């Protein structure tokens, strides 16, 4: 005959007591029920403590995870903070397409407009831009009342024209009409431009054009062309120097390599390039110094229309060797007044762009660099020193 659960428990407790030698008789039913209730209470207490322990552990894990998520990202591959995109102003141009922290964006206006606002804005750590929005406003030529002696000013595209009353002529109606026709002024009034590229000389019954020293008059009788003294051997440069043609003249140059200091020294490998001598293995400063320094001379007319690309830097791997997988370009010296911008044109090329017009005669130097990286590790740096020679004339 099968025993019920209480009876099996009683028999089990009785046998346990006999085997342990603590009792020779079985407990009665009420005593067994009391023991079972105590065991049930004990198990419920253990279950409650286990559940509470799990709850506390989950709370601490959530707090720890929240704290870790607020720490700076140790993985440099994570996306950095960015600023909102900026658009070019109407009648203007924007330079710079990167919106990461520390990056700059530059603005310029088309001819006939002037910039109101910030010409340069920098992305800050908090994801906002410095400065204020740039606006290009129209420059009204007639507001200064340039026409004299009752002349009427008529606005044009980036220029104006004076309509003169009878017996007055000239670009500003400043000349009384004479018996001889001044072809130079008549052409200027009728066509709205200059009859000669440089200077128009009125003579009785005619005119002729002249060019400044260092230029020659072309066959059209109006245009001027620079004489290349270097190409035509009309220079006096001595041995050891190189002739550089400029607008209206020439220069004799012999650029020197950077001076040696510490473990860093250079050797001239061509008239316009220096290369760094091999570095000691343990010299970090030597490895960070430019591997090559090159010299470039650019002759520009005065008031060249901007933006204008002046110079390009690129890298090329030697045959059988892989090149760097990342390049960085920048301006490292001489960019006073912010007249240049260095930006990437494609994966392997950077461009030096003139963003402000230069009036000659003047000379400006700017140093640009190109840094090579492989797997985000710096490999080498190359510096180009660009000398800009601005002519006094806009041709």
pLDDT in tens, 230-260: 999 999 999 999 999 999 999 999 999 999 9
Full set of structural domains in the chain with CATH: 92-138 (2.10.70.10), 183-226 (2.10.25.10), 290-315+324-390 (2.60.40.60)
Q: Tens of pLDDT along 292-317? A: 999 999 999 999 999 999 999 998 76
What whole-number percentage of the chain has pLDDT above 90? Answer: 49
Which of the given ranges, 9-13, 77-81, 318-322, 377-381, has the highest pLDDT on average?
A: 377-381
Query: To the nearest whole number, what is the mean pLDDT of the chain?
Result: 85
Rounded Cα–Cα distance for residues 233 and 224 (Å): 20
Confidence of residue 323 (pLDDT cuts 50, 70, 90): confident
Q: What local confidence, expressed as pLDDT, does residue 269 receive?
A: 96
Q: What average pLDDT score do residues 315-321 get?
A: 69
What whole-number percentage of the chain has pLDDT above 70? Answer: 87
pLDDT for 76 beyond 50 = no
> Judging by beta carbons within 10 Å of its beta carbon (0-12, 13-18, 19+), is residue 12 exposed, middle or buried?
exposed
Q: What local confidence, expressed as pLDDT, does residue 361 receive?
A: 94
Higher pLDDT, 289 or 317: 289
pLDDT for 37 beyond 60 = yes
Q: What local confidence, expressed as pLDDT, does residue 157 receive?
A: 60
Confidence of residue 369 (pLDDT cuts 50, 70, 90): very high
The answer to whether the beta carbons of residues 385 and 294 sit under 8 Å apart is yes
Q: Rg (Cα) of the chain, in Å, rounded? A: 42
pLDDT for 77 beyond 70 = no
- Torsion angle, alpha carbons of 349, 352, 353, 358, to 10: -160
* Helical segments of the chain, H only: 5-20, 29-69, 183-191, 284-288
Q: What average pLDDT score do residues 364-393 get?
A: 94
Other Cβ atoms closer than 10 A to 52? 10
Confidence of residue 371 (pLDDT cuts 50, 70, 90): very high
Q: What local confidence, expressed as pLDDT, does residue 22 receive?
A: 45
Q: What local confidence, expressed as pLDDT, does residue 3 receive?
A: 43
pLDDT for 13 beyond 60 = no
pLDDT for 53 beyond 90 = no
Is residue 282 left, alpha or beta, with left meaning phi > 0 and alpha meaning psi from -120 to 50?
alpha
């Amino acid at each position: 005959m099968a025993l019920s659960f209480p009876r099996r428990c009683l028999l089990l407790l009785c046998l346990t007591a006999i085997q342990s030698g603590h009792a020779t008789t079985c407990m009665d039913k009420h005593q067994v029920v009391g023991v079972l209730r105590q065991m049930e209470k004990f198990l419920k207490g253990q279950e409650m403590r286990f559940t509470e322990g799990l709850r506390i552990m989950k709370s601490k894990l959530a707090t720890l995870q929240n704290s870790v998520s607020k720490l700076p990202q140790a993985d440099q591959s994570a996306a950095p903070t960015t600023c909102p995109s900026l658009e070019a102003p109407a009648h203007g141009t924007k330079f710079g397409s990167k919106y990461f922290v520390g990056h700059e964006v530059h603005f310029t206006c088309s001819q006939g407009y002037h910039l109101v606002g910030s010409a340069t804005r920098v992305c800050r750590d908090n994801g906002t831009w410095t400065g204020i929005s740039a606006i290009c406003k129209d420059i009204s030529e007639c507001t200064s009342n340039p026409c004299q002696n009752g002349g009427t000013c008529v606005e044009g595209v980036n220029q104006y024209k004076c309509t003169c009353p009878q017996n007055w002529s000239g670009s500003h109606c400043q000349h009384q009409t004479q018996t001889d026709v001044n072809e130079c002024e008549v052409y200027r009034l009728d066509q709205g431009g200059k009859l000669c590229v440089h200077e128009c000389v009125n003579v009785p019954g005619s005119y002729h054009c002249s060019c400044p020293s260092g230029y020659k008059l072309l066959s059209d009788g109006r245009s001027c062309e620079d004489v290349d003294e270097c190409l035509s051997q009309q220079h006096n440069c001595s041995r050891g120097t190189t002739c550089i043609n400029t607008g209206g003249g020439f220069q004799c140059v012999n650029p020197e390599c950077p001076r040696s200091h510490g473990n860093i020294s250079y050797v001239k490998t061509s008239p316009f390039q220096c290369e760094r001598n091999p570095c000691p293995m343990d010299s970090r400063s030597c490895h960070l110094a430019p591997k090559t320094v090159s010299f470039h001379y650019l002759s520009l007319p005065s008031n060249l229309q901007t933006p204008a690309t002046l110079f390009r830097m690129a890298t090329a791997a030697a045959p059988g060797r892989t090149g760097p997988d990342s390049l960085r370009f920048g301006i490292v010296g001489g960019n006073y007044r912010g007249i240049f911008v260095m930006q990437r044109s494609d994966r392997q090329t950077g461009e030096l762009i003139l963003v402000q017009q230069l009036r000659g005669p003047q000379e400006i130097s700017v140093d640009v660099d190109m840094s090579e990286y492989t797997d985000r590790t710096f490999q080498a740096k190359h510096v180009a020193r660009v000398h800009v020679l601005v002519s006094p004339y806009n041709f």
